[in-house]
């Protein structure tokens, strides 16, 4: 059994990144989020800006429609190059010790090697809209459209590379509504679960 790892999957604007960082601080372990971008860029040889945008999101609906046929042809596109580097970087960091990963399919990448606590953070559209305006400011694009687009592209990326359904409760150990519980309490719950002796899951089977 490998190190005990927390993976945070989240809807855009739900505060999942904040939850992950808070939980890591309470536990005194590293949290890998934006820090992964530079490492993946270095490993892949691609620009950080490209990795930032494409390392967790499908670029366009047309790319989504053609993704399987493009990959099936044997042509390695930029997204596949990022994926390969992303897997290597995440596995190497996880091997160093207990930590928290925010996003980037870490729950799938580490599923066979480590003791995982898999978390999904979500919130209603209105609450997420308030949060992203507060965090990122206004935009020319309507806030709800930004949310829908980000979640759609994140879902497509996750499901293409993991063959699992993004956001479905059965694929996680715990799913929490940050607008009801609050980011601080979400983090505290995660810490309590992490410190407990509850059994962990591999491929959905309790062991």
Query: Which is more confidently placed, 35 or 97?
Result: 97
- In this prediction, residue 196 carries a pLDDT of 86
Give the whole-angstrom CA distance, residue 4 versus residue 26. Answer: 15
The token pair that represents 100 in the structure block: 């928290």
- In this prediction, residue 157 carries a pLDDT of 87
Q: Over 70: is that where the pLDDT of 204 sits?
A: no
Residue pLDDT, tens place only, 110-145: 998 899 999 999 999 999 999 988 887 766 668 888
Residue pLDDT, tens place only, 71-85: 444 434 567 888 889
Could you tell me which CATH number the domain at 4-194 has? 3.40.50.300
Residues in the chain: 207
Give the whole-angstrom CA distance, residue 163 versus residue 21. Answer: 27
- In this prediction, residue 137 carries a pLDDT of 74
Residues 19-48 have a mean pLDDT of: 91
pLDDT cut 70: percent of the chain above it: 80
- In this prediction, residue 201 carries a pLDDT of 44
- In this prediction, residue 66 carries a pLDDT of 46
The domain locations on the chain are 4-194
Sheet with 31-32, edge to edge strand ranges: 31-32, 99-102, 4-10, 115-122, 174-177
Give the whole-angstrom CA distance, residue 46 versus residue 43. Answer: 8
């Amino acid at each position: 059994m490998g190190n005990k790892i927390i993976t945070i999957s989240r809807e855009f604007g739900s505060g999942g990144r904040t939850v992950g960082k808070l939980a890591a601080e309470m536990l005194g372990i590293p949290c890998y989020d934006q820090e992964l971008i530079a490492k993946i860029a270095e490993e892949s040889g691609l620009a950080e800006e490209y990795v930032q945008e494409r390392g967790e999101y499908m670029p366009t609906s047309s790319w989504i429609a053609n993704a399987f046929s493009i990959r099936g042809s044997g042509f390695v596109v930029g997204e596949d190059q990022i994926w390969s580097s992303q897997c290597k970087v995440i596995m190497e960091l996880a091997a160093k010790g207990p930590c928290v990963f925010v996003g980037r399919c870490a729950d799938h990448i580490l599923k066979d090697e480590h003791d995982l606590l898999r978390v999904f953070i979500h919130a209603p559209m209105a609450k997420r809209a308030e949060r992203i305006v507060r965090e990122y400011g206004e935009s020319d694009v309507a806030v709800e459209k930004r949310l829908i687009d980000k979640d759609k592209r994140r879902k497509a990326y996750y499901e293409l590379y993991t063959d699992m359904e993004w956001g479905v409760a059965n694929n996680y150990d715990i799913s929490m509504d940050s607008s009801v519980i609050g980011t601080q309490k979400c983090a505290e719950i995660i810490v309590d679960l992490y410190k407990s002796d509850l059994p962990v899951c591999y491929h959905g089977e309790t062991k």
